[in-house]
Amino acid sequence: MITKHTKATTISAGTALLKVLEAWQVDHLYGIPGGSINSVMDALEAEKSQLQYIQVRHEEVGAMAAAADAKLTGKIGVCFGSAGPGGTHLLNGLYDAREDHVPVLALIGQFGTSGMNMDTFQEMNENPIYADVAIYNVTAVNANTLPHVIDEAIRRAYAHQGVAVVQIPVDLPWQLIKAEDWYSSANSYQKPLLPQPNPEKIKQVVDILQTAKRPLIYYGIGTRGAGKELQALSQQLKIPLISTYPAKGIVPDDYVAYLGSANRVAQKPANEALAQADTVLFIGNNYPFAEVSKAFKNTSKFLQIDIDPAKLGKRHKTNVAVLADAKLALAAILQQINERDATSWWQANLANNKNWRQYLASLENKTDGPLQAYQVLKAVNQVADPDAVFSIDVGDINLNANRHLKLTPKNQHITSNLFATMGVGIPGAIAAKLNYPSRQVFNLAGDGGAAMTMQDLATQVQYRLPIINVVFTNHQYGFIKDEQEDTNKNDFIGVEFNDIDFSKIASGVHMKAFRIDRIDQLTDTFNQARDLAKTEPVLIDAVITGERPLPAEKLRLDSSVYPINEVQAFKQRYAAEDLHPLATYLAKYGLTDAQNEVGQGGF
């Protein structure tokens, strides 16, 4: 049933627009005013008791924060920008939302209808600008239909899990319309019913998994909420788990058979196991490097479970494909399996994983020498609440957080997964604190990413958002520098830069801040930051070394495969004298090493 609102005879189209947002349970939106969007600002002032306007310092931050809203809560994020540059500044955040398939609405200002198509100031045909990023992209042409267009945009964004864009000529929201002429369809919205698994296909999956010699479960973010089922299946059938990086935390990081994620933002045991696996259960997963890295070239049985029929068979030819919700499918599998005894494959991977975790701990537990990212992340773990939320920027911080940040299903973490745009740490943390005011929120960013959106530290202060910002300063784009080491013929180009003292930047916007460069400063500094962040935002600028983290995609540990001098040089460079290849543990438990490797793929 659609409910009409008839409390007043007339209402401004702008107020009706905002009431549509409110009906869809939008409670805040981000943007910067401008002449072409000021009619919406007028309406925002009138509706300020229902809808919080967040004044960002760059529209890109607003769009990134709106995308983060959607990633964190599943609810649509909303941002706006004025005509021309205000709107185009949104594009980076809108593409982040598009690539990560989350619903976002962007409101774009436009010159008034009397001046459109006249080459007036900041007036242009905006539809082509947003045609690629948006699943719904229209220009409103009538005040009476403006609320309907907004309602349609939100429905489409939810239905297609994407970006909707509406361009609004500035004169339309000021016009009065009949109060009875607008309504919202929000009370009609329903999430699609989850696909139930086909029993015959579930039996086929069970039969293959029950007899597989070297099986792996490779899960993605489509398994959110199914961590207990994943862990139970792993334990019952003695199957190691690997995940995509965005799926980190669905199963607790400390689970003994969780091997991490594969490729570059990866952990060593996951890459090694994937290269040796004969059977892969690929569930809730859209691993984007699958084809280019030939990740499954050594896999003889590929089983896939996904809620989206468009994903089935997308990344690899399947032996069994099941259209189903991950949690329902896993529950069905668990009802049919018989527990297996520990296999040599299981024991070898657990031993390899234990050795890897000992290596990570040796990096984290250093008490002397230059400060490194590893000890800083240990300090983060020590002060983090059990349900802390982490907004993680893009670059080496992803790789290091993947390995050293300890998460459980109680935590949430977000980044720019597929678009991988730098600068998302600060806006993501703003969104996290707005959505979860009672939870502890961290922004973890390298100095490259932090520099891109550092002006919006001022937004955290302005809205009194208690966030712990940690900047990892090493004066370089480390992730890109490491790529250049592997791919470029020349010396490093464009990847190193001068120092920015982020503690002074933070102090300049009236945020408490610290700068540290020694391991012995960590405990006291992080304890102070934790206490301060109960009531106000705080920043720690940690000046760390710039060495490359161990490249899990380019291991040189096995002297039966690589010259001994290469192995020695690799171990020395990465402080990995006690780190062993999976082959060592395969041999220990009576298995042969297939000497397979998974390529990096991509760049």
59 is catalytic: yes
167 is catalytic: no
Asked whether 229 and 354 are in contact (CB, 8 A), the reply is: no
Q: How far is CA 28 from the centre of its chain?
A: 21
The one catalytic residue among 472, 479, 526, 570: 479
The one catalytic residue among 155, 214, 224, 264: 264
For residues 557 and 356, give the distance between their C-alpha atoms in angstroms, rounded to a whole number.
12
The one catalytic residue among 22, 152, 180, 483: 483
Decide: helix, strand or coil at residue 282.
Answer: strand
| Residues 6+ away with beta carbon under 8 Å from 322 | 197, 198, 201, 202, 205, 303, 304, 305, 306, 329
Residue type, 73: T
570 is catalytic: no
Asked whether 318 and 304 are in contact (CB, 8 A), the reply is: yes
204 is catalytic: no
Q: Which two tokens stand for residue 523?
A: 């405990």
The one catalytic residue among 394, 424, 519, 544: 394
For residues 416 and 68, give the distance between their C-alpha atoms in angstroms, rounded to a whole number.
9
For residues 280 and 272, give the distance between their C-alpha atoms in angstroms, rounded to a whole number.
14
Beta bridge pairs of residue 183: 4
CB atoms closer than 10 angstroms to residue 159: 14
Residue type, 138: V
Asked whether 465 and 537 are in contact (CB, 8 A), the reply is: yes
The one catalytic residue among 25, 121, 141, 577: 121
The one catalytic residue among 122, 235, 347, 455: 122
Asked whether 63 and 90 are in contact (CB, 8 A), the reply is: yes
479 is catalytic: yes
264 is catalytic: yes
For residues 122 and 295, give the distance between their C-alpha atoms in angstroms, rounded to a whole number.
48
The one catalytic residue among 47, 59, 60, 126: 59
Asked whether 379 and 526 are in contact (CB, 8 A), the reply is: yes
564 is catalytic: no
The one catalytic residue among 480, 495, 519, 543: 480
List residues with catalytic annotation: 59, 121-122, 264, 394, 479-480, 483
